[in-house]
């Protein structure tokens, strides 16, 4: 506080914190007795000034305390907001750490959003969905389609594999039940494969909807009748990629000897092509309309989608860099010696994996290996996606954890996952069930603005087909064989990242963005099982069987809701 002076006196008067005046000249020259006399003669105005000074001081202290508490509380609240917990390039402790996001009804995160408008110069290059050319879903049966007749027997199904392998297998078994005139018993899900998930059908799928939606196609029951529980069953592994003739001539004749037939496997039991139109449409009705996830999974999936959309357009990245995939494929590029050995031992000890001795370098050079997280980062950067792009990681536990995610995270710090978008409490009902967690990833992937996979496995193909059916956005399929050559050039320094690499990568992928096209048949010259293996999977591309062109193509992109009200 400044020290005012009394004009003309030559004396210095100061004011203390209590509002009292003090005269420095008098204090220095007066005796104690004089001071006592002066105190007795203090005028009333001086006492009033002292009282007012003390009051002002009290108010100042109170205001200071109030402001301090208010600012501290606000800072703590802001710290707890979801957007304050999003990773930045300086926060690399764990990309999978759990976050507790606020309810969506609260103020949305202030994370900078990507521009998603048509006026954005990068919209057409990065986000614009491929044209649908007037094609829309058409799954209604033909006029010749009849209601199911009295069935001849019961079909039991033991599914095998992960979520999407079981899912497409169930759809095939519905079609097979129609072919052989069987009553389908709700399928038994695989509980013994790599994932060891004990979920039942009703834990993952909406069982009531499944039964009622297909009532005009086949008869479905939850369990075998009690009088047939101990009946002798014919357990048979149906031939892979079989057509109508096989099932009607060979399998259907088994009804003459058995009342219950059990299919020991469900994956790839039905051909992709050359089936009657009504059978193909039935497969699509089952896959995209009847076989919905259970209400609690769809509800949680919708929440995750909305939380991702709150950040703007997003990429769903199916990063198939998990232990089971790497062990099965024998791909060890970028891994340590101990990690490669661990994967080899897993492959050796998994009886139903037939290939044991694999040359990882040869597999990679042929494009048979999933892209590593680092390679995915280079790929997305070359395509032109900016650093701030929100990316949802649709995957299980990434092999090697954080050590293999660091370089992808350094390029794209806004990596999200189920565990980051939802709290522990929200995920608790699903957390110990790999197939249910995969179902959440499936929903977020189907609904994404752009879907990218690092390997065309069952999940990637299923999501690609579903997005084609619904008319969703881009689905980018990396040309792994060509990309590996570019990555190797970068590694040895014969090429650098920049405009040249970007032009090459974009040219390679102009036709790999989920364009609507007729499903590819077998590769010319292949025979036997290899012929069927080389065909494009029905569930990756249901055109032309389940998509029909309208009279006049719509002028704008038609988007259907995965979650109808």
For residue 558, is pLDDT > 70? no
User: Which phi and psi (to 5°) does residue 262 adopt?
Assistant: -115, 125
Rounded Cα–Cα distance for residues 419 and 293 (Å): 20
Name the pLDDT band for 121 (thresholds 50, 70, 90): confident
pLDDT, mean over the chain: 83
Residue 172: name the closest of 105, 253, 269 by CA.
269
> In this structure, what token pair is assigned to residue 356?
């044991």
Rounded average pLDDT over 269-273: 96
Rounded average pLDDT over 302-314: 97
Range of lowest pLDDT (15-24, 365-374, 519-528): 15-24
pLDDT digits (tens, 9 = 90+) for 167-177: 999 999 999 99
Name the pLDDT band for 497 (thresholds 50, 70, 90): very high
For residue 102, is pLDDT > 90? no
Helix (H) and strand (E) counts for the chain? 21, 14
pLDDT value of position 39: 42
pLDDT value of position 61: 52
Rounded Cα–Cα distance for residues 424 and 27 (Å): 71
Rounded Cα–Cα distance for residues 422 and 101 (Å): 6
For residues 220 and 178, the answer to whether their CB atoms sit within 8 Å is: no
Rounded Cα–Cα distance for residues 442 and 451 (Å): 11
For residue 49, is pLDDT > 90? no
pLDDT digits (tens, 9 = 90+) for 195-211: 789 999 999 999 999 99
User: Using alpha carbons only, what angle is made at residue 460 by residues 380 and 363, rounded to the nearest 5 degrees?
Assistant: 75
Residue 448: name the closest of 83, 127, 95 by CA.
127
pLDDT value of position 112: 52
Question: Is residue 340 exposed (0-12), middle (13-18) or buried (19+ Cβ within 10 Å)?
Answer: middle
Residue 443: how many CB atoms within 10 A of its CB? 23
pLDDT digits (tens, 9 = 90+) for 315-335: 999 999 999 999 999 999 999
What is the three-class DSSP state of 46? Answer: helix
Rounded average pLDDT over 256-269: 96
Say which residues have a Cβ less than 8 Å from residue 220's Cβ, sequence separation at least 6: 183, 184, 185, 186, 210, 211, 214
pLDDT digits (tens, 9 = 90+) for 280-291: 999 999 999 999
Pure H helices in 333-433: 337-349, 360-365, 373-383, 402-411, 418-421, 424-427
pTM (predicted TM-score): 0.79
Rounded Cα–Cα distance for residues 538 and 535 (Å): 9
For residue 166, is pLDDT > 90? yes
Rounded Cα–Cα distance for residues 307 and 443 (Å): 13
pLDDT value of position 194: 72
More confident residue, 230 or 13: 230
pLDDT value of position 60: 54
Rounded average pLDDT over 304-311: 97
Q: Where are the strands (E) in 68-202, listed by range?
A: 135-137, 153-157, 182-185
Rounded average pLDDT over 221-233: 91
β-partners of residue 235 are: 262
For residue 87, is pLDDT > 50? no
Rounded Cα–Cα distance for residues 164 and 170 (Å): 10
For residue 344, is pLDDT > 70? yes
């Amino acid at each position: 506080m400044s020290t005012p002076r009394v004009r003309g006196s030559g004396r210095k008067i100061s004011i203390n914190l209590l509002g009292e005046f003090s005269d420095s000249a008098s204090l220095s020259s007066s005796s104690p007795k004089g001071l006592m006399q002066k105190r007795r003669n203090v005028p009333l105005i001086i006492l009033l000034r002292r009282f007012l000074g003390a009051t002002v001081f009290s108010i100042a202290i109170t205001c200071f305390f109030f402001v301090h508490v208010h600012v501290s509380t606000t800072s703590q609240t802001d710290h707890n907001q979801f957007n304050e917990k999003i990773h930045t390039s300086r926060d690399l402790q764990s990309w999978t750490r759990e976050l507790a996001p606020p309810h969506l009804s609260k103020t949305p995160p202030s994370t900078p959003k990507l521009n998603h408008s048509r006026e954005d110069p990068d919209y057409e290059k990065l986000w614009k969905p491929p044209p649908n050319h007037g094609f829309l879903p058409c799954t209604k049966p033909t006029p010749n389609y009849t209601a199911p007749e009295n069935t001849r027997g019961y079909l039991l199904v033991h599914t095998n594999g992960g979520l999407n392998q079981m899912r497409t297998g169930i759809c095939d078994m519905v079609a097979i039940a129609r072919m052989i005139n069987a009553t389908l018993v709700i399928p038994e899900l695989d509980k013994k494969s790599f994932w060891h998930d004990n979920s039942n059908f009703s834990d993952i799928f909406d069982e009531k909807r499944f039964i009622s939606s297909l009532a005009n196609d086949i008869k479905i029951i939850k369990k075998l009748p009690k009088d047939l529980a101990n009946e002798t069953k014919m357990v048979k592994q149906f031939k892979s990629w079989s057509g109508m003739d096989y099932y009607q001539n060979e399998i259907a004749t088994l009804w003459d000897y058995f009342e219950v037939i059990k299919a020991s496997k469900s994956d790839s039991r039905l051909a992709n092509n050359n089936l009657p139109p009504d059978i193909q449409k039935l497969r699509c009705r089952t896959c995209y309309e009847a076989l919905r996830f259970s209400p609690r999974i769809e509800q949680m999936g919708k929440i995750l989608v909305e939380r991702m959309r709150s950040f703007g357009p997003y990429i769903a990245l199916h990063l198939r860099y998990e232990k089971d995939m790497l062990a099965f494929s024998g791909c060890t590029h970028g891994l340590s010696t101990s990690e490669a050995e661990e994967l080899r031992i897993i492959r050796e000890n998994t009886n139903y994996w037939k290939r044991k001795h694999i040359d990882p370098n040869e597999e990679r050079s042929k494009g048979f290996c999933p892209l590593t997280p680092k390679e995915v980062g280079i790929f997305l950067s070359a395509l032109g996606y900016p650093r701030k792009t929100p990316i949802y990681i649709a995957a299980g536990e990434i092999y090697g954890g954080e050590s293999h995610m660091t370089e992808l995270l350094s390029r794209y710090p806004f990596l999200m996952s189920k565990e980051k978008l939802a709290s522990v409490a929200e995920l608790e009902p699903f957390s110990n069930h790999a197939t249910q967690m995969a179902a959440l990833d499936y929903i977020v992937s189907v609904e994404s603005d752009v879907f990218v996979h690092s390997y065309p496995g069952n999940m990637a193909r299923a999501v690609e087909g579903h997005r084609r059916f619904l008319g969703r956005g881009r689905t980018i399929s990396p040309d792994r064989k060509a990309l590996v050559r570019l990555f190797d050039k970068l590694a040895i320094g014969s090429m650098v990242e920049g405009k040249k690499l970007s032009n090459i990568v974009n040219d390679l992928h102009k036709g790999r963005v989920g364009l609507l096209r007729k499903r590819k048949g077998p590769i010319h010259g292949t025979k036997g099982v290899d012929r069927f293996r080389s065909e494009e999977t029905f569930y990756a591309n249901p055109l032309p069987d389940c998509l029909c062109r309208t009279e006049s193509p719509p002028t704008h992109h038609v988007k259907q809701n995965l979650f109808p009200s």
